Structure 1
Amino acid sequence: MTEIQRYAAFSTDPAGGNPAGVVLDASGLDDAEMLAIAAGLGYSETAFVTGRPGGDGYRVRYFSPLAEVPFCGHATVATAAALGPGEHRFETNAGTVPVVVDESGVATLTSVDPHVSDLPADDLAALLATLRWSAGDLDPALPPKVAYAGAYHPVLAVTSRRRLARLDYDVPALKALMTERGWTTVQLMFRAGPAEFDVRNPFPVGGVYEDPATGAAAAAFGGYLRALGLVEPDATVLLRQGDDLGRPSRITVRLVPGEAGVRVSGAAVAIPGQPAPGKENAAVAIPE
């Protein structure tokens, strides 16, 4: 019988963070079975260790309730915590991701090389329409872009925390736009300080309304901040996510001069009792 572990990532409280499923031995599962497990859990992602390439390496795949995704940061943190302290190497569909877990259970992943591209004007207009935002809501100091560090995420910054808190998007329209463009989540943020941001991540293509914590988007956002010179070259950035959902998450993003990847750190804690959650306890289920 397949053993499914459940962790809350980017939190020390099982009631916070982003829940993730972890299957440490998925070598006997096919794609349909992994997708069925992910859909049954209802979490935004479940990680499956499907093999051991050798040494400290693990072949890891990630499934949302609707489809496989190339990389997932919070499920990486959860899987690394389940493996325990030490150095691990994850071979993902997006590339090699090293992860270090310290004795306190904090995991630090180093992303694949990030890159940032322009968000075409037509795509920006369509994205704003689906979010029910206007161009006047955007912070001109943080221009819209598309950032990548294993998955693609448009990045939009708003001028007020209140605007960020009032997220109410057109689910079918945003899902269709994201599917067409190959975007995994949308990184929405408000700059609260020189190296502090409040962030939210709609994820309708994965079958959930919103992620309470998104490590892949955090890595991409770190690449965005570095590429645009918006923080110091050796910055440590704090991302607050999940507060608006009642699942507070804290993500640390670190830029290391001379290192192409972005480091993303956070705690992960096992969810006591390991109950089967169902949709009501998923990241945030899309309303029926």
Structure 2
Amino acid sequence: MTLLHYTAFSTDPAGGNPAGVVLDAAGMSDAEMLAVAAEVGYSETAFLMSGAADGAIPIRYFSPQAEVPFCGHATVATAVALAERVGPGELTFATPAGVVPVVVEQGPDGLRATLTSVEPYVEAAGDVSEALALLGWQSDQLDAALPPRVAYAGARHLVLAAATRERLAALEYDFDGLRAYMLEHDLTTLQLVWRESPTVFHVRDPFPVGGVVEDPATGAAAAAFGAYLRELGLAHPPATIQLRQGDDLGRPSRITVELRDDDNRVRVSGYAVPMEPA
């Protein structure tokens, strides 16, 4: 087993969201993969498995505490790691959430990957007062134009929109309480957002179910958020949305979300670069 270290959604090794990448995980057990992810300590580590079917490469994702069905930043990191070895082009990953095509291209600042999500959906969030209490947020601090919803594009995320950048920046929450709440409601992260403009959003993603306080970049949540914007009529395809994440953690990340008018799925793009192990 060779463990690679990449950061996704940045061209700077000091930015983006770090991911472990194992390109040769054939024969590893669940316990072994979880142990590697826990030792690495990143929000996710991706493992490429053997047994490709119809050209789709099996891939699995483990946080330090659990397996997750889909991880966007680790997918981008893995695709770029492969492209560095075999050249840019088209890849297809068979994730636990479904088939995810990825195109890797040479961009002006390095290799850039674009993943296409599984079929997304958006559903009512119900009463979110408990989630707000665990975050220390008040209901009058929400943006009424962006109502709470649960959005899915490979994993489920509760979308909550802050009315001000200051509310988004001041993030302190009950880790154990929010983890229990998210497990009860089958949530992978909370997608906390603030709208700078119709096409630019600042986002933060608590990830206590994975044993991580916060993700610096969350591709799966970005895809789900694209579906959210389309469902609520806040973005009309064709549309390109820019997400700014990680600034409050000192690891700036830049995520591009694309909505097309001929396909319900969501495209998520970003750079990835190798990094030295912590």
Aligned match of 2:243:
239
Deviation of 1:174 after TM superposition, in Å, equals 0.2
Aligned match of 2:124:
118
What is the 5 A alignment of 1:18-167?
Answer: 18-54=17-53, 56-84=55-83, 85-104=88-107, 105-121=111-127, 124-167=128-171
| Helix, strand or coil at the partner of 2:194 | strand
CA distance in 1, matches of 2:263, 2:24: 32
What is the 5 A alignment of 1:119-268?
Answer: 119-121=125-127, 124-268=128-272
CA distance in 2, matches of 1:265, 1:190: 20
On the 8 A contact 1:56/1:87 being kept in 2, the answer is: no
On the 8 A contact 1:130/1:173 being kept in 2, the answer is: yes
CA distance in 1, matches of 2:265, 2:78: 20
On the 8 A contact 1:118/1:144 being kept in 2, the answer is: yes
| Helix, strand or coil at the partner of 1:37 | helix
Aligned match of 1:13:
12
CA distance in 2, matches of 1:216, 1:116: 14
Aligned match of 1:282:
none
CA distance in 2, matches of 1:168, 1:189: 15
State the AA in 2 paired with 1:257. D
On the 8 A contact 2:56/2:99 being kept in 1, the answer is: no
Deviation of 1:179 after TM superposition, in Å, equals 0.9
Higher mean Cα deviation, 54-63 or 158-167?
Answer: 54-63
- 1:157-210: CA deviations, max 9, x gaps? 011000000000111110000011110000000000111000000000101100
Aligned length: 271
Normalised by the size of structure 2, how large is the TM-score?
0.96
Give the % identical residues: 62
| Helix, strand or coil at the partner of 1:99 | strand
CA distance in 1, matches of 2:21, 2:185: 28
- 1:84-108: CA deviations, max 9, x gaps? 0110000000000000000231000
- 1:212-268: CA deviations, max 9, x gaps? 000000000000000111012211000000000000000000001121210000000
Deviation of 1:54 after TM superposition, in Å, equals 4.3
On the 8 A contact 1:153/1:185 being kept in 2, the answer is: yes
Deviation of 1:56 after TM superposition, in Å, equals 3.9
Deviation of 1:55 after TM superposition, in Å, equals 5.8
Normalised by the size of structure 1, how large is the TM-score?
0.93
- 1:21-80: CA deviations, max 9, x gaps? 000010020000000000000000000001241464210000000000000000000000
- Unpaired runs of 5+ in structure 1? 278-288
On the 8 A contact 1:234/1:257 being kept in 2, the answer is: yes
Higher mean Cα deviation, 235-244 or 103-112?
Answer: 103-112
CA distance in 2, matches of 1:93, 1:182: 15
State the AA in 1 paired with 2:169. A
Runs of 4+ in structure 1 displaced over 3 angstroms?
Answer: none
Aligned match of 1:285:
none
